[in-house]
Structures are given as structure tokens and as C-alpha cells.
Amino acid sequence: MKPVTRFAPSPTGKIHIGNVRTALFNWLFAKAGGGDFILRFDDTDLTRSKPEFVEAIERDLRWLGIGPDRVEFQSKRFDAYQAAVDTLIAAGRLYPAYETPDELDRRRKRQRTRGLPPVYDRAALKLTGEEKTELEAEGRKPHWRFLLDNHGGDPFQPRPTPVIWNDLCRGEQTIDLSAVSDPVLVREDGTYLYTLPSVVDDRDMSVTHVIRGEDHVTNTAVQLDLFKALGADAPVFAHHNLLTLPSGEGLSKRMGHLSIESLREESGLEPMTIAVAAVLIGTSEAVAPYASLSELETHFDLAKVSRAPAKFDPEDLSRLNGRVLQELTYADVAERLEAVGADGGEMLWNAIRGNLVRFADAKDWFDVVNGEVEAEVEAGDAPVIAAAVDALPAEPWDDATFKTLANAVKNLTGAKGKALFMPLRKAITGRASGPEMGPLLPLIGREKVISRLRASAQ
Ligand code: GLU
């Protein structure tokens, strides 16, 4: 059976690298099995969901190379959710409750002081029709709770009910449903909490594998019961560890600098840097600079996901970015180079790609090769530079020309090591560090090299 997975963000903010971990796990899993990936917007919260976030999420995923096979919106499926609500009510599995948050809070406190677990006691199930009418006459509106199947006929006598599933990341999982409160599925205002729409969608969209963060483990026990109550086959579940900062703090929408938009636009990172970090950190695979998602796919395996939090330091992303850039061929980047006015051909790209931290740095090196530079040499550098003017070979030049030049200057001046190479590098490129001089020299060309040397020798 071909896998069908989904990534289900709420469009209430921008997605960050932790969300991309979930998105890519789902995408890679579907693609590895020749299946489909659904982008499903969990936008039942009509006030907080915004079209601009839908667009931003689609843009971010596209930039990362994640193309959905289908896009779905929960806001267009309210009829399906209402039908499920009706089915559950008819089966006696969904009941109205009227407690206010304050009342529930007080009840939980009382349970705790008595040493009882703070599980909802199903008091609302005892309400008579008359009492309900009275409560509604007071202006109260019901919320609706799902009666968990954790009893043998008398809901006031819950009994241990292990829900067991084989989690593709965590192995066999067991959650006792008698320790869980009947979840609210529909709020007072008639809006749906995420639990029910998610199950109805997974059923109707034939989702075979639900891959999501481990913060959803308890939801899974409830949702497995819900699939059963709706007469549906449950998908396979996988709960991955969450990306956290080195301090252990989880990522959140508030951390704007870790949004994909900011990592792309402010930090100037490559999509593959984000993808590699998002997928491989917190697994037994080494974080290595793969150049494409298909290459990354061969290193992705849910069974390799660690149980410990996936700690990552945003500072490390720059270094990884440099390693990713180094993997990119001229064909991979030619269009982008042209777009930023830095296309100096394949030889230039090959000469500089090992020295870039960000793609935008390519423009600096393009300018070093093709434009003007200002050398900052010191007085003591003059003899080396003057000797280089005299020793400069005739063209044609190749990668070995710089070595020939340096040897000649060494013979003329006796300078060696840093004292030999640094003045030459600074005079010819205007920088104290950068790509190897060998490949750069023929790209800059004799005419420019000699005029730069002369300008520095004065
Ligand atoms: N909208 C939910 C979330 O972002 C989806 C969870 C799920 O994948 O089922 O947490």
C-alpha cells in the first residue's frame, strides 16, 4: 500500500525549523514509499487563522522543495465534522457538559488534595433533561465531551484500559485510557477542537501514517479510541522528538529568528541547510551537507530518531550552510548567480564555493575577480610585492601559475610562509583571507593582477 502522509499546520503564524522537521519527515516518508503528501491546514480557528500565514507556509515549503500532492483546508470540511458529531451523539459517545473553566479547576484541585488523579469525573453524564434545560435557561451553553471507552458498561467505574500501538519512532507505546479525561471535542461556541477534525480528515483522506511531534502522544490514545468509535481503521503513528535549543527550551512561534522566512531572508541560509538540520539532528545519522532532498531521503529513517530531545544550536547553522554551499555544482547555482550579478562561470564558482558562508558572499568574490579592489598592505610588504611585479609570468595562466610566481618571489626576496603569501594575497585580492590563490589568479587575469600589484607597491 502506498503511504499517504500529511503535514497539518495551523495557519496562525509562521512555521519554524521545528515545524519543518515534521513536514519533512512526512514528505520524505511519503516520497520514499512512492506515496502522497498532503498539506492540510488546520484552520478551524477562524479568528486566528489568516490567509497570509497560509501563503507564507506554502511559500516556505516550496522554497524547501516540499511540493504537496494535495492541499486541504479544515475550514471547508465543517459538514464532515458535524456528521461525525451526529454519529457520536447517536452512539452515546458524545455528551454535553456545562462546567465553566473555573468550576473544573476547583474540582481538579479538590481531587488533588484527596490524592486522586485530576481526571474529569463525568458529572455531566448524571444531569437529567430537566437540569440541562435549567442550565441552558441560565444562559449556559454546553461543550461536548467524548466518552472514552475505558469502562465495562458503567462510565462511573472506569477500569484500566491500555491503548497500545507500535510507534515507528518510539516502539511499542501503552497509554491507560482510564487515566485520561474525556476530551472536549466541541466548544461552547460550536467550534471544533483539533482532536475530532484531525481524525475525520485522516479517515476521509485515507492517511496511512501520522508522523508528528511527541507532544501528541497522549492525543494518539484518545484519537485511536475515536477512530474505533467512528468505525474507521486507524493509521500507523510515529512521534518524533522535538527540536530544542541547547538550553532545552522548545521552539515556538514567538522565536521569529528561527522562522523559515527569517532563516531564508535575514540569515541567508540555503534550503538544504535547514532540511539537513531539521531532519538529521536528534537521530543516529550524522548531520552531513547533502545537496538535495533525494540524497537526504536515503539517510532518513524513522527508526533512527532518538528518544532524547533533538538539541540544536542555531549558531551551528552558518557552518553547516558553508558545507552545503560547497556541495553545490555550478549547474545547481548558475541561475541564482546570474540573478545576483555574480555569474563568473563555472571556474569561478568552483574556486570560491568552499569559502562561502552565505550564497550572497559569492557576489563579493565576483567583484574581487572582476571589479576593483583596495589593497591594504603594510610598508614591510613592499619588497615582496615589487618582486612579484618583476616575476609575473606571461599568460596563458592556469591554477599552477600562482605557485610559479610565489617560488620566483621567494627566490628573489628570501620571504617564505606567511610573509610571502600574505602580501601577495592582500595586494591581489584586497583581502587577508579567502579562496586558494591558485584558481583565482587566472580568473583575475594578468592585466588586473599587475595593476593591483603596482598600486600596492607604491
Ligand atoms: N495542527 C496540529 C499541530 O500543529 C496537527 C497535529 C497533527 O499532526 O495531528 O499540532
Task: Work out the angle at residue 178's Cα, subtended by the Cα atoms of residues 176 and 180, and round it to the nearest 5 degrees.
Answer: 85
> Does the C-beta of 26 come closer than 6 Å to ligand 1?
no
Which structural domains are found in the chain, ordered by start?
4-72+196-243 (3.40.50.620), 82-185 (3.90.800.10), 330-365 (no CATH), 379-457 (1.10.10.350)
> Does the C-beta of 212 come closer than 6 Å to ligand 1?
yes
> Does the C-beta of 42 come closer than 6 Å to ligand 1?
yes
Q: What percentage of the chain reaches a pLDDT higher than 90?
A: 96
- Give the per-residue pLDDT at 379: 86
**Cell numbers placing 133:** 434545560
Q: How many A from CA of 167 to the centre of ligand 1? A: 17
- Give the per-residue pLDDT at 458: 74
Q: Would the pLDDT of 134 be above 90?
A: yes
Q: Would the pLDDT of 441 be above 80?
A: yes
Closest approach atom of ligand 1 to CA 7: 8
Say if residues 94 and 147 touch (Cβ distance below 8 Å).
yes
> Does the C-beta of 401 come closer than 6 Å to ligand 1?
no
Q: What is the number of alpha carbons within 13 Å of residue 254 lying toward its C-beta?
A: 2
Model confidence at 253, in pLDDT bands (50, 70, 90)? Answer: confident
Q: How many A from CA of 9 to the centre of ligand 1? A: 6
Mutate to test the pocket of ligand 1, among 15, 21, 44, 198 (most ligand atoms within 8 A of CB): 198
- Give the per-residue pLDDT at 213: 97
Radius of gyration of the chain from Cα atoms? Answer: 31
Instruction: Report d(CA 125, CA 444) in Å as an integer.
Output: 83
> Does the C-beta of 219 come closer than 6 Å to ligand 1?
no
Task: For residue range 290-310, list pLDDT tens digits in order.
Answer: 999 999 999 999 999 999 999
Give one word for 341, left, alpha or beta, with left for phi > 0 and alpha for psi -120 to 50: left
305 φ/ψ angles, rounded to the nearest 5 degrees: -75, 130
Task: For residue range 331-373, list pLDDT tens digits in order.
Answer: 999 999 999 999 999 999 999 999 999 999 999 999 999 999 9
Q: Would the pLDDT of 254 be above 90?
A: no
DSSP, res 282: T
**Cell numbers placing 334:** 548558475
3-state secondary structure string across 89-107: HHCCCEEEECCCHHHHHHH
Q: What is the number of alpha carbons within 13 Å of residue 188 lying toward its C-beta?
A: 9
DSSP, res 311: E
**Cell numbers placing 350:** 568552483
pTM of the shown model: 0.92
Closest approach atom of ligand 1 to CA 215: 10
- Average pLDDT of the chain, as a whole number: 96
Size (the chain), residues: 458
Instruction: Report d(CA 135, CA 130) in Å as an integer.
Output: 9
DSSP, res 337: H
Q: Which protein residue's CA is at the shortest distance from atom 5 of ligand 1?
A: 8
Mutate to test the pocket of ligand 1, among 205, 216, 251 (most ligand atoms within 8 A of CB): 216
